Chains A and B, each alone.
Chain A
Amino acid sequence: MTTHTLRSKRRRSALRTTAFMSPWLIGFSVFFVYPMVSTVYFSFTHYDGFGAPVFNGLTNWTYVFTDYPMFWPSLRNTLWLVLVMVTCRVVFGLGVGMLITKIKTGAGVFRTLFYLPYLAPPVAATLAFVFLLNPGTGPVNALLAEAGLPAPGWFNDASWSKPALTMLAVWGIGDLMVIFMASLLDVPTEQYEAAELDGASAWQKFRFVTLPNISPIVLFAVVTGVIQAMQYYTQPLIAGKVAAGVIGGSGQSFEPGYPDKSTLTLPQLVYNLGFQRFDYGAACVVALVLFALAMAFTALLMRGRNNLISAGD
């Protein structure tokens, strides 16, 4: 083969790759690169949508970190969600996954019932939980009162709103259950048999056989859980709005975080700054903080599960 035909062949294959990749290449440039560059630029400007952006140095950055009253509460909430909600979801998801592998009678029915809440649309599920946990008329507090137990204020009490959101998140555990179930069924049975011969207790079998085998999946669940916690938007916003009794979806002026900033998360700040206060510059600062956090954990995920990338090579 002459170098000439080789070169034209290579050019053809590059052209073919570009053609197949083109939807993504366009999408990536127009819907990611361009807005990212703009976001960085806006973060150094005063911009309210009227007139042109005016460069103002680090004003937005110092405002967000020192004067904007919602920034640090939202970071603290996110840390709480990472520590408590993610842990609860992983532990509960693993528990339900293990339970379902042990159920022999009616396994299909149980699986479907356990999985269904995961499918409930977030707005609908959140509305349902605000109703269920309504301190006045909700069935949960009715049952608690019946049992003579103290009835918390749930979504109307700053110290109970995040636990209530955690219950909602644990209710929709179906995705983790399926992933854990599949990985539990892949643990080689010989290892359990060997452990049994050695007289291992149930806990020892879990600790020394199950856990080492499924640890990559646990890591995957934890890291994706952390990323989801940072992106947490619809549920806390709706819960706060509905519990506060804001009238109308056009309740545009409602500042998120009810009660007492306890349900604030970073994405809600972008909405609050950009679309309620029309301070696009400061909104872009929060967007960049969110971006940095999301990418840091995505890098962790890719390192932990390198096979996501390398498979097929």
Chain B
Amino acid sequence: MTRLLDKTDASAPATAPRTPASRTARRTALLHWIAVHSLGVAAALFFVLPFVFVVLTSLMSDQQALTRDLTPNTWEWDNYARVFRTDGFLVWWRNTLLYAGAGTVLTVVSSIPVAYALAKFRFRGRKLSLMLVISMMMLPPQVVIIPMYLFWAKQMDLSGTLWPLIIPMAFGDAFSIFLLRQFLLTIPNEYLDAAKVDGCGELRTLIKVVLPMAKPGIAAIALFQFFAAWNDYFGPQIYASENPAAWTLSYGLESFKGAHHTDWNLTMAATVLVMAPVIAVFFFAQKAFVEGVTLTGVKG
């Protein structure tokens, strides 16, 4: 997955010389290998089988989806087309891409200078600012939702749209700032000093020197932000629920279940269609993603 994690592959099973003593050692090593890998397969089944059952059910006929059968008798690929033909499904896709795409760009652009200042500037109140960033990162969105909803709905008249979720992202996101700041700390100050000796101001230093080196960190926050918007349920529930034309996939999916109450096959097909893009993005960008996860917990 990443260079960091590939350490495990380096240690191949040791091949010992053929002596009676080493034969028992080899047998123990083999038994150990079998035990570890059986456990691995058991765990893999636990993680993978839910996906398998979901996909199998998504391909069943309407009648069969109501039975306890595990595999489809006839493979109804048309179920996926039926989901796409459902009212609103394509609109939810468009809205989700807008929310996730615009939100990600705004978050990245607004979080970079803040993270840079917190990582590299020395100023009074820096520690306090950082503590406030971490506190906001841990703040449940429900804590401030009543005044925020009243603000967006009554003063700005933006309820029924996704703008109350997108606009705040132009003002930095605590998690992105924190993650990027942790990453920027790993860039040695010598590079910044050298740029300043060459006559660069802070902004030029940031753009010309720091950003190219910070690409993995920026990729990580962009991915996290994209996934957070894609997965968000509470935000669209509060601001968009009254207007189906503004629903996102995560919000619409649940209403899809409600509208197709007994059609588990269609619901599971829709579920697959909501999961698939996230997993596809992961396969293209897994290095950045896993590095980001590690950065939140380990490096400090």
The reply on A102 being an interface residue by CB < 8 A is yes
Q: What residues on A are CB-neighbors of B110 within 8 Å? A: 23-24, 27
The reply on A51 being an interface residue by CB < 8 A is no
Interface size on A, residues (CB 8 A): 116
Q: Which of A1-9, A63-71, A193-201, A270-278 contacts B (4 or more CB under 8 A)?
A: A270-278
Residue of B147, B231, B237 ringed by the most chain A CB atoms within 10 A: B147
A49–B255 Cα distance when bound, in Å, is 27
B171 with A108: CB separation less than 8 A: no
Contact pick for A38, options B43, B111, B147, CB 8 Å = B147
Q: Which of B18-26, B78-86, B119-127, B191-199 contacts A (4 or more CB under 8 A)?
A: B119-127
B300 with A245: CB separation less than 8 A: no
Known: A27-B171, A123-B233, A294-B140. A178 touches B274 (CB 8 A): no
B9 with A13: CB separation less than 8 A: no
| Distance from B83 Cβ to chain A, minimum over Cβ atoms (Å) | 13
- The A-contacting residues of B in range 40-66, CB under 8 angstroms, are 40, 43-44, 46-48, 50-51, 53-54, 57, 65-66
A31 with B171: CB separation less than 8 A: yes
Known: A35-B151, A298-B138. A128 touches B143 (CB 8 A): no
A17 with B117: CB separation less than 8 A: yes
The reply on B70 being an interface residue by CB < 8 A is yes
B44 with A110: CB separation less than 8 A: yes
A114 with B279: CB separation less than 8 A: no
B44 with A39: CB separation less than 8 A: no
Contact pick for A21, options B114, B135, B268, B293, CB 8 Å = B114
Q: What residues on B are CB-neighbors of A13 within 8 Å? A: 121, 123
Known: A100-B8, A104-B13, A247-B259. A20 touches B138 (CB 8 A): no
A294 with B143: CB separation less than 8 A: yes
Contact pick for B50, options A99, A129, A181, A233, CB 8 Å = A129
Known: A23-B113, A178-B293. A121 touches B143 (CB 8 A): no
Known: A111-B5, A249-B258. A131 touches B202 (CB 8 A): no
B114 with A309: CB separation less than 8 A: no
Which residue on A lies nearest to B12, using beta carbons? A104
A86–B121 Cα distance when bound, in Å, is 37
Which residue on B lies nearest to A145, using beta carbons? B68
Known: A230-B140, A247-B261. A311 touches B185 (CB 8 A): yes
Q: Could you give 10 example pairs across A and B, Cβ below 8 Å?
A: A17-B121, A21-B114, A24-B172, A27-B172, A39-B147, A101-B8, A104-B11, A105-B33, A182-B294, A308-B300
Contact residues of B with A, CB < 8 Å? 1, 4-5, 7-9, 11-13, 33, 36-37, 39-40, 43-44, 46-48, 50-51, 53-54, 57, 65-68, 70, 110-111, 113-114, 116-119, 121, 123, 127, 129-136, 138-140, 142-151, 154, 168, 170-172, 177, 182, 185, 202, 227, 230-231, 233-234, 237-238, 241, 247, 249-259, 261, 264, 267-268, 271, 274-275, 278-279, 282, 286, 290, 293-294, 296-298, 300
> Which 7 pairs between the two chains have the least Cβ-Cβ distance?
A249-B255, A27-B171, A38-B147, A35-B144, A35-B147, A20-B117, A307-B300
